[in-house]
């Protein structure tokens, strides 16, 4: 099943950057009569599987939405459980990341994280910094509006100090002030568990991403589901505002 799907993928037309909203851990657990944290715990298995799947395929960037700014408002017990799980996972996974040449990045409001989590994360960032394979971007305490407000503030300061002139600000300038400045925009965005929304994730960067929604809950999401999403992506015509005819001519000429 898995190998039949992977064989159909066109390796020359892979999305350079895949972003995933890993949703449905809580419901997955509740459906099994378990605590929500049990779902988060099992969600880690999916993270391992999908990171490995992306590395094997040769995907350049994988961004995983692990915790949003709004998620801080969840019950304290869930937030603390998630933080502990996160730190523990990152600590344990560093050797595997290094073995697979994966470089870890983090986007989000690190100031909000407890000291122990920040420390652990910084160490993992340092320890994987020389890797040149898959770039794994964890969105932690991240929200797009937080990021945009931050960018605008920083641009304001740089205008005030004379570092940039307001009339020179263009899309590239704004892009450089986002926490994703070193990454290309996601081409494929996947959300699991049947919700059809963006939930404050990469609002600016997803401008032309193909969106893929699946009912599969995150703890059940595996490589075969990833392959299905990539195949669906490859079946679409990305027009970027042009006509279908223009796009077809461009591909014939290329």
Residue list for the binding site for Mg(2+): 23, 210
Q: How many residues bind ligand IPE (CB under 6 A)?
A: 17
Q: Which two tokens stand for residue 175?
A: 């892009």
Q: Measured from the CB of residue 188, what is the shortest distance to Mg ion in angstroms?
A: 20
Q: Which two tokens stand for residue 34?
A: 């378990």
23 part of the active site: yes
Which region among 63-71, 127-135, 168-176, 246-254 touches ligand IPE (by CB under 6 A)?
Answer: 63-71
Active-site position among 10, 12, 23, 232: 23
In sequence order, what are the residues at sequence separation of 6 or more whose Cβ sits closer than 8 angstroms to the Cβ of residue 243? none
- Which residues of the shown chain bind Mg ion in the complex (CB under 5 A)? 23
Q: Which two tokens stand for residue 217?
A: 């809950």
Active-site position among 12, 49, 71, 73: 71
**Closest residue to bound ligand IPE by CB:** 26
Q: Does 21 bind ligand IPE (CB under 6 A)?
A: yes
Dist CA 230 CA 91 (whole Å):
30
Annotated binding site: 23-28, 36, 40, 68-70, 72, 74, 191, 197-199, 210
Q: Using an 8 Å Cβ cutoff, are 202 and 175 in contact? A: no
Q: Does 66 bind ligand IPE (CB under 6 A)?
A: yes
**Closest residue to bound Mg ion by CB:** 23
Q: Does 67 bind ligand IPE (CB under 6 A)?
A: yes
Dist CA 128 CA 148 (whole Å):
27
Which member of 6, 50, 54, 68 binds ligand IPE (CB under 6 A)?
68
Dist CA 37 CA 207 (whole Å):
33
3-class state of residue 108 by DSSP:
coil
Taking only Cα atoms into account, the Rg of the chain, rounded to an integer number of angstroms, comes to 19
Q: Which does 123 bind (CB under 5 to 8 A by kind): ligand IPE, Mg ion, none?
A: none
3-class state of residue 80 by DSSP:
helix
Cβ atoms within 10 Å, residue 103: 19
Taking CB under 6 A as the criterion, which residues in 194-223 touch ligand IPE?
A: 195, 197, 199
Q: Does 146 bind ligand IPE (CB under 6 A)?
A: no
Annotated binding site for substrate: 24-28, 36, 40, 68-70, 72, 74, 191, 197-199
172 part of the active site: no
Dist CA 49 CA 114 (whole Å):
27
Q: Measured from the CB of residue 138, what is the shortest distance to ligand IPE in angstroms?
A: 10
Q: Using an 8 Å Cβ cutoff, are 24 and 46 in contact? A: no
Q: Does 238 bind ligand IPE (CB under 6 A)?
A: no
Which region among 3-11, 59-67, 84-92, 234-242 touches ligand IPE (by CB under 6 A)?
Answer: 59-67
Helix axes 76-99, 36-57, angle to 10 degrees: 20
Helix H or strand E encompassing 93? helix 76-99
Q: Which two tokens stand for residue 234?
A: 């490859």
**Using CB under 6 A as the criterion, which residues of the chain lie in contact with ligand IPE when the complex forms?**
21-27, 65-68, 71, 82, 193, 195, 197, 199
Residues annotated catalytic, as ranges: 23, 71
């Amino acid at each position: 099943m898995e190998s039949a799907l992977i064989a159909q993928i066109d390796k020359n037309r892979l999305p350079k950057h895949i972003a995933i909203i890993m949703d449905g851990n809580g419901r997955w657990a509740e459906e099994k009569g378990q605590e929500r944290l049990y779902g988060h715990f099992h969600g880690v298995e999916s993270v391992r599987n999908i990171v490995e799947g992306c590395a094997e395929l040769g995907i350049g960037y994988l961004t995983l939405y692990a915790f949003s700014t709004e998620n801080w408002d969840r019950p304290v017990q869930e937030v603390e459980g998630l933080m502990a799980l996160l730190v523990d996972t990152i600590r344990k996974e560093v050797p595997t990341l290094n073995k697979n040449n994966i470089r870890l990045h983090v986007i989000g409001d690190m100031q909000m994280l407890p000291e122990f989590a920040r420390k652990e994360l910084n160490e993992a960032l340092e320890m994987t910094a020389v890797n040149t394979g898959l770039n794994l971007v964890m969105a932690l305490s991240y929200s797009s509006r937080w990021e945009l407000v931050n960018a605008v503030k920083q641009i304001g300061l740089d205008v005030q100090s004379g570092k940039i002139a307001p009339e020179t600000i263009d899309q590239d300038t704004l892009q450089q002030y986002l926490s994703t400045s070193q990454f290309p925009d996601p081409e494929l965005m996947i959300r699991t568990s049947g919700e059809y929304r963006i939930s404050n994730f990469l609002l600016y960067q997803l401008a032309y991403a193909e969106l893929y929604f699946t009912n599969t809950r995150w703890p059940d999401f595996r490589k075969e589901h990833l392959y299905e999403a990539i195949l669906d992506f490859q079946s679409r015509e990305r027009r970027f505002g042009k006509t279908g005819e223009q796009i077809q001519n461009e591909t014939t000429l290329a």
